[in-house]
Structure 1
Amino acid sequence: MSWRLDVENVAGIRRGSATLEPGLNAVRASNWQGKSSFLAAIATALGTASPLTEGASEGRVSLSTDEREYAVELTRDGGRVRTTGEPYLSDEVDRVCADLFAFLGEENEVRRAVREDDDLEPLLTRPLDFEDIDAKIAEARRERDRVDEALSEAEDAAERLPTLVSRVSGLEAEVDELEAELEASADAAGDDETREALSDARAERSRVQSRIERLESTAERVREQLEANREELDGLDVGDDEELERELDEAKRELRQQKRDIELLRGVYDANRRVVAEGRTELLTDVTHGLVDDELACWVCGAETDASSVTERLDELAEKIERRTAAAEASRERVEGLTERVETHEKRRQRERELRTDVRELRERRSDLERRLGDARERDDELAERIDDLRERIESDSEQVTDIESDLKYAKARLDDAKSELESSESEAEKLESLRSQRQSLTEEITRLRRRKQEVKKETRDAFDASIREIVPLFETGFESARLTSEFELVVARDGREASLDALSEGEVELLGLATALAGYEAFDVADRVPVMLVDRLGGIADENLGRLTEYLSGTATYLVMTAYPEHGAVEGRDIDPSDWSVVSDSAAAKGAE
C-alpha cells in the first residue's frame, strides 16, 4: 500500500524522494524547505498541476504504487509548460473533483471563494459540466427507442404464441388428411405448372394475411399509446412562468438590498457601540462630565446631547437591525420557496416537451404502419384474384386430384410457415423479460441523469450541514451554525443572528472553507475517485485545533498528506523529513554566502 514519489525540478524542489503510507503523512519542516512544493508534486503525479521549477527547462515526477508506476514529464515550451506521460488520474471528472475537493491547499478555489465571499455554486457543481449529461440522456433515449421497438415485437410474438400453436396443430392434422385422400385417389391429371403456381399463390397469401394481422395488432397498440400521451398532454397545465420568474428576480433583488442595508446598519451600530461601551466618546467629541450624566456634542450632526440619549439611540438602532434581519430571513424563505416553484414548473415543461416528442414520433410510426398495412391489403386482394384465375385454368377432369395436390402443397407450405413463425415468435418472446428489464434500467438512468444536478446540490448541502454539526462543538467555534442555501450562499449564525464572514476569525473562515470543500468531496464520492487528500497552509488555525482537524479528517482518504511546522506537536502521524531534498532555497542561501 506504500506510494513512493521521486521528484525533479517541480515547484521549489530540485530533487527529492519520499514514501507515503496509509493514514496521516505530515511533511514537517520550517519555511522554504519544500513542504508545499511536495504537495504540488503529488498533484502533478495525479494529473492536476504542472509547476515546473523556475529557471528549469525540464522536470519530472514518478509515482510507484503496489500495482504499477506512473510518470509525468514537464517541459518548458516558450512561455508555457507542456505535460507528457501518464498521470494517476486519467478521467477529466476525477481530476476536476481532486482539484476542487481533495487538494485543499491555500489556493484551493473553494477555500479561496469562502475567504473572499464569492459565488460557490459554479465551483460546487463544476464536475457536472464535464459529465456531459445532455449527451448521455440523448444516447439513453436512443437506446430506449431501440429497446421499445424490440419490446413491441416481443410482445406481439408473445400474444401470437397460443394462436400459432393452435394453427400448427390444425395444419398438421390437415396435411395428414390430405395425404390420405391423395393416396386413395387413382387418377392424376391437370397442368403441374398451374397447380404449383396455385399452391405458391395460396402460400404467399397466407404469409400476407399473417403480416396483416401483425400490422393491425401493432397499429392498435400505437394508437392506444398515442391517445394516452395526448390525454396526458391535454391534462398537463404548464402555464406561463414569466411572472413567477419576475417575482423570483424581484425577491432576490429585495433580499440583496436587505442584506446591504443590514450590513450598513450593523457597521454603524458596531462602531458607535464600541466607542460608547469603551467610554471613548472624547475621541470623537468634547465631553462634559456631570454628576447625573455626561453632556456631549453629537459627533455626526454637532447637536448637544448626553450619553444616555446616545445609548438609547444605539438601542433603537439595534432593534431596527433585528427587525430588518427578521425581514431578510422572511425574504430568503420566500426566495427559496419561489425557487422550488420555478424548478417544479420547469419539470412540468420538460414533461410537456417529452410528451410532444413522443406524440410526434407515435404519429410518424402510425402513418408508417398504415402505409404498410395498405400495401399488404392491396397485395392480398391481388393474390385472391390470382388464385381464382388459376383455379379456373385447371381442367375439369383433373380438378379433384389437382385440388387435393394443390391443397396439400398449400397446407404443407402453410405448415412450414406456421412452424417457422412459431419458432421465431418463441425466440422473440423469450427476450421479453430481458427487454423489459433493459427498458426499466434505461428509464431509471434517464431519470437519474435529469435529477443529477439537483441531487448533487442536495447531497452537498446535507454533507455541509453534517460537517458543521461536527465542527462547531469539536472546534468550539464562535459561531453556532452555518448552512448553504439552495443557491449555495453561505449563511453563518452567531448569537442567534446572521453574521458576516468579516466578523469571523481567520481560523473560523478557514474551517468553513474546508467544510465547504468536504461537502463537495462527499457529494461527488471523491474518496472512490482519488485516494489522496492534500491539506496545506492553515496558518489561521491554532496548534490544538490542527490536532482536532487531523482527527476529524482521519479516514477520509487512504493517504492524508498535511504540511506542518516543527512546533506543531498536535499534528501526529508519520513524518516526512525534507532535510535530504535539494530545494531552490538552498541555491539562494549559497549565493548569499558567496
Structure 2
Amino acid sequence: MKTDLETAERDTPAQATLYADNIGGIDEAKVSFEQGVTVLSGRNATNRTSLLQAIMAALGSDQVSLKADASEGEAELELGDDLYRRSLERRNGTIVTDGEPYLEDPELADLFAFLLESNEARRAVRRGDDLRELIMRPVDTEAIKAEIERCEQRKRQIDEELEELDELEGRLPDLEAKRTRLNDELEELREELEAAQEELDETNVDVEERREEQSELETKLEELRETRSEIERVRERIETERESIDALEEEREEVESELESLSTGDETDRSKLEAEIDTLQAEKADLSEEISQLQSTIQFNEQLLSGQESILPEGSSDDGGDGDGDVTDQLLADDETVTCWTCGSSVARDQIETTIEQLRTARQERLEERSELNTELDERRETLSTINENRTEYRQTQRRLDSIDDEMERREERVDDLIDEREELTDEIDDLEAEIDDLETEDYGDVLDQHKEVNQLEFELERKQRELENIEEQIDDIEDRLDEREGLEARRDDVTDELTDLRTRIDQIEADAVEAFNEHMENLLEVLGYGNLDRIWIDRTSREVREGRRKVTRSSFDLKIVRSTDDGAAYEDTIDHLSESEREVTGLVFALAGYLVHEVYETVPFMLLDSLEAIDSERIAKVIEYFQSYVPYLTVALLDEDAQAVDVDHEVVSEIGSPTTP
C-alpha cells in the first residue's frame, strides 16, 4: 500500500494553485500549495475552513457553500498543466454547480479525504454509528453479487459442455469397436464379392447365344440393387425422423413442465406495484429535498458559529477592510455569544450548537428514512422485475412450445410420406424380382443365381460402406470436440479464480479496513501517549440482520476500548467515556483507514484536516507528522498556537481572502 502511495506521489505534480471567489466567507483568494504539508494558520473567523471548502469545490465535492451575500462563485485548481474549474450558483434557495472538477464522483473523497468537522467518518466514530456500513458504502456490493451470478452462470455452461465432452468420450470406445467390426465385415464382403465375380466369369455358358437375355437380366438386377439401396436409405431416413420426433417429444414435456412452473402474475398486482413505486419515489424525492435543505441550514449555522465572513453584513469583514470591524470585535470579545447578522441580536453559542446537533439528528433520521425507502423501492422493483421477467419468459416458452409442435407436425408428415415411398419401393422390388424370375431358364439358372449373389453382395458392401462412413464421421466430430477440452478447462479455471476473487472481495475489504485501523490506532496511541488508554481496536464479528423479507448474515465492526486503572488493572470502556481529544483522534484514524483501504490517494491527491482544537498542540503535531507520510497534499487548518507546534517541514498560509495571498 505504501509503494502505491509513493507511485501516486511521483505522478502528482509538485505544486498546485487554488483560486476562490465567493466561497464560504472568501471574497477572493489565490493560494499556492507545495506537495507535502500546508498549514492554514490563524485565529477563528479567518476563512481557513472556507479555503478548505474551495479546495473541495474544485476537486468535485458538493459539501460547499456560497458567500451569504453572493449569488454565484467559483473555484479553480491548477494542478501541473491541468486546470479544474467549478462554478456555484444560488437558485431557489439551493446551490447548483457546473464545470469540470477534478473528480467525477466525490463520494470517496467526501468520506475519507475531506476531514472537516462535519465529515461523516469522524462523526460516525463520535456518535458510535455503524462503522462497517460507512467503510463499505463506496463498494457496490450489488454489482459484485450480480457479477458473481454471471460468473456462476458461465461456469455452469462450461461444466455442462465438459460433461457433454465426457459423455462423448465415453462413446468413443464403442464407436471405435464398431468401426473395427465394420472394417472386418467389409473385408470379408470384398473377398466374397471377388470370389463370386470370379465364379460368375468362369461359368461355362454360351454368352453369345444368350447375350440379349443376359443384358436384360443384368439391367433388371442393377435396377433391383439400386431399388434396394434406395429403400434402405428411406428406412434410415424414417428412423432418423422418428428419433427426431422422440427427441422433440421429450423437449416438449420439458417445455410444458417449465411453462407450468411460470407465473405471469395478476395484472392488478402489477398495477398496484407500479403505483406503490411511484408513491415511494415521490416520498424519496421529498425526503431528498428536505435533507438538502437541512444540510444547507446546518452549514449556515456552522458558519455562524465560526464567525465566517459570509454571515456578516457587508462592510464587516475580518481582514481589516474598509468596515469599522465592530461586529468582528464583538465576536472576538465574547466567545460565548454570536451576533446574528439578520437581526443584530446576540445568540448564545451553546444554543446554536444545540440547534446544529438537533438539525444533524433530524438529517440523520431523514437519511435513515430515505435508506428504508430505498430498501422498500428495491423490493418493489425487484418484485415487479420478477413478474415482468416471468411474463416475458412465459411468452417465450409458449412460442418455443408452439415451434416444437409445428416441427413435430412437419416431421410426422415427412414420416408418412417416407412410409408411402417405402411401400412403393417394396412393390417395385417385388415386381423386379418377379421379372427376374421370368427371365430364368433351366440352362441359365446357375448364372442367374450367381448374378443375384453378386448383386446382393454389392448392395451389402455399399450399405456397410455408408455405415462405416457414418461411424467415422461421428468419431471425427467427437475427436474435434474433445480438442476443445483444454481450452474449456482453462476458461473454467479462469472463471473459478474470478468467482473466488469476487466472493472474497467484500470480506477482504472489510478485513483490510479493520487491519488498517487497528494498526494505525495502535501506532498513534503509542506516539500520543494517552495516560490510561491502553488500546482501541475494531473487532469484526457477524450478526443476523433483516434485508427486506430476508434475514442475512452481515459483518459488524465493534469498537473496543481498554483502559487501565492506577494500579494496572485493565477494564473495557465505551466510546462515550473517551475524552473529546481521544474521540477526535479515533475518528481521524478511522478515516485514514478508509483512505488507505480504498486507495483514495490514487483518486484525489489532497487530504484536508480541520477542527482539531479538541486535541492539544503537541498531539496535533504528531498526528500531522503521522498522516503526512500517507498523503501527497496534506492541508491543515490550525489556530496560531497549534500551528507553532508543527515540527515537520511545511508551508504556512496565514492570510486568506485577497488575490495576493502567497
- What is the TM-score normalised by the length of structure 1? 0.58
Deviation track 1:544-586 (CA, whole Å, cap 9, x = no partner) reads 2222112211322333222234441333334153647438x9x
Find the partner of 1:422 among 468, 479, 482.
479
In 2, Cα distance between the equivalents of 1:136 and 1:558? 34
Quote the Cα distance in structure 1 between the aligned partners of 2:138 and 2:149: 19
Partner of 1:570: 645
Is structure 2 residue 503 aligned with structure 1 residue 447? yes
Partner residue, 2:91 = 77
The C-alpha deviation readout for 1:108-133, integer Å capped at 9, x for no partner, is 12222333444544434433466544
Question: Contact between 2:39 and 2:635, CA under 8 Å: does it hold in 1?
Answer: yes
Determine which of 153, 161, 164 is the counterpart of 2:164: 153
Alignment of 1:225-304 (within 5 A): none
Instruction: Calculate percent identity across the aligned residue pairs.
Output: 28
Q: Is 1:555 paired with 2:643?
A: no
| Structure 2 counterpart of 1:492, from 561, 579, 603 | 561
Residue 441 of structure 1 aligns with an amino acid whose one-letter code is D
Q: 1:436–1:124: structure 2 CA closer, same or farther, 3 Å change rule?
A: closer
Counterpart check, 1:400 vs 2:457: yes
In 2 relative to 1, CA 156–498 (structure 1 residues): closer, same or farther, beyond 3 Å? same
Q: Find the structure with the greater CA-based Rg.
A: 2
Mark the CA change 1:408 to 1:113 in structure 2 (over 3 Å): closer, same or farther.
closer
Q: Is the 8 A contact 1:18 1:576 kept in 2?
A: no
Residue number among 13, 19, 39 corresponding to 1:7 in the alignment: 19
Change (3 A) 1:140 1:61: farther
Output the CA distance in 1 between the equivalents of 2:143 and 2:98: 26
Where does the alignment leave 5 or more consecutive residues of structure 2 unmatched? 1-11, 198-217, 251-400, 434-451, 542-555
Structure 1 residues 37 and 163, CA gap change in structure 2 (3 angstroms): farther
- In the superposition, relative to structure 1, how do residues 429 and 458 fare at CA in structure 2: closer, same or farther (>3 Å)? closer
In 1, Cα distance between equivalents of 2:195 and 2:623:
102
The answer to whether 1:34 aligns with 2:34 is no
CA gap 1:437/1:179 in 2 versus in 1, 3 angstroms: farther
Pick aligned residue for 2:155 from 144, 159, 164 = 144
Q: Give the secondary structure class of the aligned counterpart of 1:7.
A: strand
Contact in 1 for aligned 2:41/2:653 (Cα 8 Å): yes
What is the alpha-carbon distance in structure 2 between the residues aligned to residue 178 and residue 68 of structure 1?
87
Show CA shifts across 1:160-214 (max 9, x none): 566666767777787788789889987744264652452475489689999999x
Secondary structure at the aligned position of 1:490 is classed as: strand
Paired with 1:96 and 1:388, the residues of 2 have a C-alpha distance of 77
User: How far apart are the structure 1 equivalents of 2:158 and 2:56?
Assistant: 44
Cα distance between partner residues in 2 of 1:160 and 1:85: 67
- Structure 1: 5+ residue stretches without partners: 217-367, 586-594
Letter in 2 for 1:406: R
- Separation in 2, partners of 1:412, 1:539: 91
Match for residue 585 of structure 2 among 485, 503, 511: 511
1:107 aligns with 2:121: no
AA of the residue aligned to 1:482? I
Deviation at 1:66, TM superposition (A): 5.2
Structure 1 Cα separation of the partners of residues 482 and 190 of structure 2? 29
Q: Does 1:535 align with 2:620?
A: no
Question: In 2, Cα distance between the equivalents of 1:125 and 1:16?
Answer: 37
Q: Quick check: 1:198 aligned with 2:272?
A: no
For 2:173 and 2:101, locate their aligned partners in 1 and report how far apart those are by CA, in whole Å.
61
Using the TM superposition, give the Cα deviation of residue 404 of structure 1 relative to its aligned residue in structure 2, in angstroms. 2.5
Superposed CA offset, 1:337-396 (max 9, x none): xxxxxxxxxxxxxxxxxxxxxxxxxxxxxxx9xx9xxx9xx99xx99x979989967566
When residues 458 and 408 of structure 1 are mapped into structure 2, their CA distance, relative to the original with a 3 A threshold, is closer
The range that moved more, 102-111 or 502-511, is 502-511
For the 8 Å contact 1:50–1:74, the answer to whether it is kept is: no
Shift of 1:67: 7.9
Corresponding residue SS for 1:541: coil
1:388/1:471 Cα in 2 relative to 1: closer, same or farther (>3 Å)?
same
1: CA distance, partners of 2:606 / 2:20: 21
1:96 to 103, 107, 122: 107
- Quote the offset at 1:514 in angstroms: 1.3
Listed one character per residue, the Cα deviations across residues 401-448 of structure 1 (whole Å, up to 9, x for unaligned) are 33323333343344334323432x134323232233134224414532
Q: Deviations over 1:84-116 (max 9, x none)?
A: 34443335xxx4332222221111122223334
Task: Give the secondary structure class of the aligned counterpart of 1:480.
Answer: strand
2:75 maps to 61
Which residue, out of 51, 60, 82, partners 1:47? 60
Matched residue type, 1:436: R
Change (3 A) 1:432 1:119: closer
What are the residue-to-residue correspondences of 1:570-589 with 2, within 5 Å?
Answer: 570-571=645-646, 572-575=648-651, 577=653, 579=655, 581-582=657-658
Contact 1:100 1:517 (8 Å CA) reproduced: yes
Contact (CA 8 Å) 1:50, 1:83: kept in 2 or not? no
Q: Cα distance, 1:473 vs. partner?
A: 1.9
Q: CA deviation at 1:476?
A: 1.1
Aligned to 1:467: 520
Report the Cα distance in structure 1 between the residues aligned to 2:511 and 2:629, rounded to whole angstroms.
24
Corresponding residue number in structure 2 for 1:432: 488
Structure 2 counterpart of 1:153, which letter? Answer: E
Residues in 2 aligned to 1:211 and 1:25: alpha-carbon distance in whole angstroms:
81
1:480 aligns with one of 534, 541, 553: 534
Shift of 1:477: 0.7
State how 1:328-407 maps to structure 2 within 5 Å. 394=429, 397=452, 398-407=455-464
Letter in structure 2 aligned against 1:148: D
Q: Equivalent residue of 1:25, what SS?
A: strand
CA contact (8 A) 1:468 1:515 kept: yes
CA 1:501/1:408 → structure 2, altered by over 3 Å: closer, same or farther? closer
In the aligned structure 2, how far is the partner of 1:167 from the partner of 1:211? 26
* Partner SS for 2:484: helix
What is the CA deviation profile of residues 299-331 of structure 1, one whole-angstrom value per residue up to 9, with x for unaligned ones? xxxxxxxxxxxxxxxxxxxxxxxxxxxxxxxxx
Cα shift at 1:538: 0.7
Aligned counterparts of 2:658 and 2:57: Cα–Cα separation in 1: 18
Superposed displacement of residue 536, structure 1:
1.6
Amino acid at match of 1:437: D
Deviation string, structure 1 residues 24-56 (Cα, Å, up to 9, x no partner): 233344444433223223323333325242343
Alpha-carbon distance in structure 2 between the residues aligned to 1:388 and 1:106: 93
Amino acid at match of 2:584: E
